[in-house]
Amino acid sequence: MLHMRDVWVNWFEGEENGYNVCEFYEWRKEDRIELLDQVAVIKMRENLFDYIENTLQELPEELLADVYRQSFVRRKSQRIELEYCFLATDGRRSLVVDTIGYHTPVRKSRLVPRQEEQLLNLVESEHIREYYMDYLDCEKQYHILSPEPSLMNGLIRKERQLKQLLFMAMDQLHHDADVAEIRYWYTEWAPDKYAQIQAMDSEEAWVSLFNEIKFGWTKKHEDYCFTMIKGQPFFEKLWELHHGEAEKKNVR
């Protein structure tokens, strides 16, 4: 089995969508960055790579067996064994995965560009390892709390995070609000449609509002998100976390 040494990783935990596993140029100094002393390399088919990158589902048993205790992390002067950690590639893309002892890809990381180039050269002549899973070709189902990639295309890390926060607030509105509150929030977004909105029932108003806000990200989206989550401590904390210290607004 191939291995790479001295691999820098920035773990994103519990992310089921690849667009939330940030590329190197979006890493932040406060991120959880570690040095893997050694990591097993697995060249696999594209559909398995897609599956690992975009789900938190069970990994093939044969894959887990192949990488069992093959990778190590360096912490201070200690070399610590990792139960199921590996570097996945389909020959074009790469993703470091650590299950933290489970059988699912709990933590994921991109590579720094220099090491990604090194990896792709390393596996160029390597054979693809075959792993059978009868559900690999099942189409992934996206929803408001797991938005389809097209809704995140072209957005930077902060924008993706704030957009997902807005979608969380929209999901709460859908489940908890009465028709008057939904009409109110739709009017806040599109005051010129006041008369039309007042004639809508709650479902029609919510769907129309969501269809208008779901594409792109602008200053209007950001301000609307801030107004919507104000006064809700959990959402406010996420706002502070994602918005960045330099640009934080006072939500108290």
**Residues 171 and 242 both lie in one domain:** yes
pLDDT tens-digit map of 85-125: 999 999 999 999 999 999 999 999 999 999 999 999 999 99
CB 38 within 8 A of CB 72: yes
Domain range for 185 is 149-247
pLDDT tens-digit map of 146-182: 999 999 999 999 999 999 999 999 999 999 999 999 9
Provide the residue count of the chain.
252
DSSP 207-225: HHHHHHHSS---HHHHHHH
**Residues 84 and 186 both lie in one domain:** no
Count of structural domains within the chain: 2
Query: Which tokens is 251 given?
Result: 């939500």
- Per the domain annotation, does 46 fall within a domain? yes
Can you give the pTM of this predicted structure? 0.88
**Residues 189 and 84 both lie in one domain:** no
CB 36 within 8 A of CB 72: yes
Q: Going by DSSP bridges, is the β-strand pair 33-43/78-89 parallel, antiparallel, or unpaired? A: parallel
**Residues 6 and 117 both lie in one domain:** yes
- Per the domain annotation, does 111 fall within a domain? yes
